[in-house]
Amino acid sequence: MVWGVGAATTCVMYAPLFRDLAKKGVATACPTSANPQHLVKTVRFLSAEGISFPIALGGHSYGGNTAQVAASMLGEGEVVGIGNFPGGLCPLGVFGCNAHGVRVPFMAVSPSSDVNQIGVKENVFNFIQAPKIWVSMSAWVGHSDVMKGAVQGSIGELALLWFRWLLLQDTSSAEILWRSGQLNQYPNVIDVDIEFDNARRLLSEEEEEEEENNLAAFATNTTTTAATNSTSVVVMRRTMKLAAKAFLEQPRTQQRLSAAG
């Protein structure tokens, strides 16, 4: 995962989060600058170095916004998702964030008192054309809460779930994230909005016969960015199916689909 730091912060300030992610199998690369160009360069450097695993973007505050910008600058398969913990300064025009340009799974978590939450849902979340999760937390969860790491009731705890589902295809994380009733039970969570418009269609698609062979071939051929990107696309398809299954199994979604005929 490539992480964008907040304004006036350094990578070392997020060490507790990075350690907790690493303990659960998620490695982090943290550029010293969260300029979107630097995030893009880091993603492409990792791919060029032969990283065969999917890569995601994450960030805090200013870095959460620039992660969104970087994602819109990258091509298909270069990153598999974005986590904003918290951030979302698009309404303020920072770096001209283009919410319409986000085409990968997106999660935003923010305390209800956070100044950065103002207008984020209306001007960012609602325009993203991809599976997405919005979580609002209690007012006493601070803007820099993610720096505490993945402790219980923290933003970091939800970030850990997100990246374990997104990068490791963790089934239990997928079920917690994509069933709104599960997230609502987490400490300090006060509101959840989950949208996955093409979940039913995704699950109805048949697996391609060559998918297993293609994945194995790409995983062993990591000398080019193209190979790595193709690996990510295949893995992402499987990851998304975990989320789609959990989303469609929640009672509220079933009721909504039944009402729609």
Q: Are 146 and 14 in contact (CB under 8 A)?
A: yes
30: helix, strand or coil:
coil
pLDDT of residue 77: 87
- Cα separation, 247 vs 201, in Å, equals 12
Left if phi > 0, otherwise alpha if psi is -120 to 50, otherwise beta: which for 138? beta
Q: What is the pLDDT of residues 118-160, one digit of tens each?
A: 667 777 788 888 999 999 999 899 999 999 999 999 999 999 9
Domains in the chain: ranges and CATH: 2-259 (3.40.50.1820)
pTM: 0.85
Q: Are 2 and 132 in contact (CB under 8 A)?
A: no
Q: Are 187 and 169 in contact (CB under 8 A)?
A: no
Alpha-carbon distance values, 81 to 92, 112, 140 (Å):
23, 24, 28
pLDDT of residue 254: 47
Give percent above pLDDT 90 in the chain: 49
In this prediction, residues 2-11 reach a mean pLDDT of 94
Q: What is the pLDDT of residues 164-223, one digit of tens each?
A: 999 999 999 999 999 867 898 999 999 999 999 888 888 887 454 344 444 444 444 444
In this prediction, residues 27-38 reach a mean pLDDT of 94
